[in-house]
Amino acid sequence: MPKRAALLAAVALTLTACTSTPEKPTVAQGGEDFGKATQLSNGFGTTQKPGEFPRTVKHAMGETKLEKKPERVIVLDTGELDNVVALGIKPVGIAYTDGSPTMPSYIGEKGGTPENVGTTNNLNLEAITKLNPDLILGSQLRAEALYPKLSAIAPTVFSVRPGYVWKENFLLNAAALDRQADAAKMLEDYTNKAVETGAAIEKKLGVRPTVTALRFMPGRIRLYAKKSFIGTILVDAKIPQPSPSQVDDLAAEVSAEEIGKADADFVVYSTYGDPAKTAQASVLGGPLWSGLNAVKGGKAKPVQDETYFLGLGVLAANVVLDDLKKQLGA
């Protein structure tokens, strides 16, 4: 039996049908290395020339050798999904988030019909093995403890974490897929679009309005800040956030009684998962919410969680820019 086939068979025999990732927060806020993700990502990628295989890819868990250009790719989070689809690849397997367990509508048919391999917090290693992947893409934050088992199944490349380092993650994934030039061009186009979007909004409104990105989650309410996906988009478009959201972190957490901190010229808000499991209904139906200037002015708008907060890639970022123009009336 060939060495790889024997290894896959051994892995399949030793894995339970569903293996849970050791408990970690759905989104890691703060922490010792949170603000270092960009620095830690420096040097990730490959020194091989386009089209050159085998190639070695440096990433968050070390180095991974790819013998050939990957064709059967499994993605373990929404950022990796966005990245591979942007590069013209339909993954064979996917781990969805608990709060959004289906193909994002903004990706739709472009994502194909990948097999479900569990969720980001509860990977099914047997399902991953059966798909016979030749590349697994994920992050250290989500599945660090499972990396040895995943890399025994197929070459595995991990970013440090999802979120505000989405551009670095895109380039890392592209290095493994031999599509670095395509990714670089997409990021350049995105940057230009962000600048143009901010300018169009300012031209229409006469000012760059402040925008709060508010998210209701089970047990918490967040004002997303600079080191978040939506935060980076607002920064790139030079659209300011009000002071409560200007922390150098993922988000500022507030209570229902502190919802006044969400006030801005515009508020965009969404819910992670089932709204009934969050404080959304009580907050939106309460007097503090109705007293916000943005609400009184008709400038508090619901948005898609799957793009503004879960997209984590260039496709979602472009959708968010288009939607921001719409929501802000530009």
Residue 14 is predicted with a pLDDT of 40
Task: Outline where the chain has alpha helix (H).
Answer: 3-14, 37-41, 78-86, 125-130, 140-143, 147-153, 166-177, 180-205, 229-236, 280-284, 287-290, 293-296, 305-308, 314-327
Over range 251-272, report the average pLDDT.
Answer: 97
Residue 32 is predicted with a pLDDT of 59
Over range 192-205, report the average pLDDT.
Answer: 98
Residue 118: strand pairing partners: 123
Measured distance CA(133)–CA(74) in Å, rounded: 7
Measured distance CA(116)–CA(93) in Å, rounded: 6
Tell whether the model's pLDDT for residue 13 goes beyond 80.
Answer: no
Q: Give the percent of the chain with pLDDT over 70.
A: 90
Tell whether the model's pLDDT for residue 180 goes beyond 90.
Answer: yes
Over range 126-141, report the average pLDDT.
Answer: 98
Rounded to two decimals, the pTM is 0.90
What is the rounded average pLDDT for all residues in the chain?
91
Residue 330 is predicted with a pLDDT of 79
Measured distance CA(250)–CA(37) in Å, rounded: 12
Domains in the chain, ordered, with CATH? 3-178 (3.40.50.1980), 185-327 (3.40.50.1980)
Over range 127-149, report the average pLDDT.
Answer: 97
Look-up of token digits 């060939």: 2
> What value, to the nearest 5°, has the Cα angle with vertex 111 and ends 108 and 116?
105
Q: Tell me 20's DSSP state.
A: P
Question: pLDDT tier at 19 (50, 70, 90 boundaries)?
Answer: very low
Look-up of token digits 């009000």: 242
Over range 129-151, report the average pLDDT.
Answer: 97
The Cβ-side half-sphere exposure at 168, using a 13 Å CA radius, reads 23
The more confidently predicted of residues 329 and 272 is 272
Tens of pLDDT, residues 42-80: 999 999 999 999 999 999 999 999 999 999 999 999 999
Q: Give the percent of the chain with pLDDT over 90.
A: 87
Residue 31 is predicted with a pLDDT of 54
